Structure 1
Amino acid sequence: MTEKFLKARIPGELYAELLARSGAEGKRLGTFVRDVLQQHAQAVSTSEALARIEAAMSAGPTPSSAPAPVPVAALDHDSARQLAEVRLLLREIAMQTNAQILNRVAAQLAAQA
């Protein structure tokens, strides 16, 4: 891999914020900025993720042939706890990526009920 040098002018407030965040993670500023840029380049866009989800849902079984979901009350303690944790993690990821997606999901769930 050939590394290239990048020089950019940024506002002082942004520089201070990046410097503080890199210090909190124990990284040099250049390393931190490179990591952030790599994460951004590798991230899946919200529209692409939604398209993948919609494609998977349309390719899946029809609602009439799909098994009925297990009620949360019927799960054992560990499974219910893991389900709650996964729901909270997904919500946090959605909030970081695109806060509007939560409103869309809530509206679609309300329309289905």
Structure 2
Amino acid sequence: MESDDAILGLAALAQATRLDVFRLLVQHEPEGLAAGDIARALAVPQNTMSSHLGVLSRAGLVTAQRHSRSIVYRADLARFRAVMLFMLRDCCDGRPEICAPLIEDLTPCCSPKTRRKAHV
């Protein structure tokens, strides 16, 4: 990833409503949400939401697909991963102890959920 692409992604997320939109879409993966549902969930007027979704789309952080009369948006997790990895790749400058605490903090939140077995 180039610096300009990372800046575009980070800038798109550096606004409260767009960050909320992205987080909401991540929670609704892989189905995504229609634009109107996103606007209602976040109590944002639809025309304003359209602008925010446009910024996120141009940054590559969300994708849109038309379903009949509505447009369903999804978080592009591969692009988000690329932006985050861009930030982490050179952060340790050859000293992994600098990033190790960050990696440790991320691991518990992202471990797969285990299914609980019902007692018979």
TM range (shorter): under 0.3
Report the structure, 1 or 2, having the larger helix content.
1
Provide TM-score, normalisation by structure 1.
0.27
* Higher strand fraction (1 or 2): 2
What's the TM-score, normalizing by structure 2?
A: 0.26
| Bigger radius of gyration among the two | 1
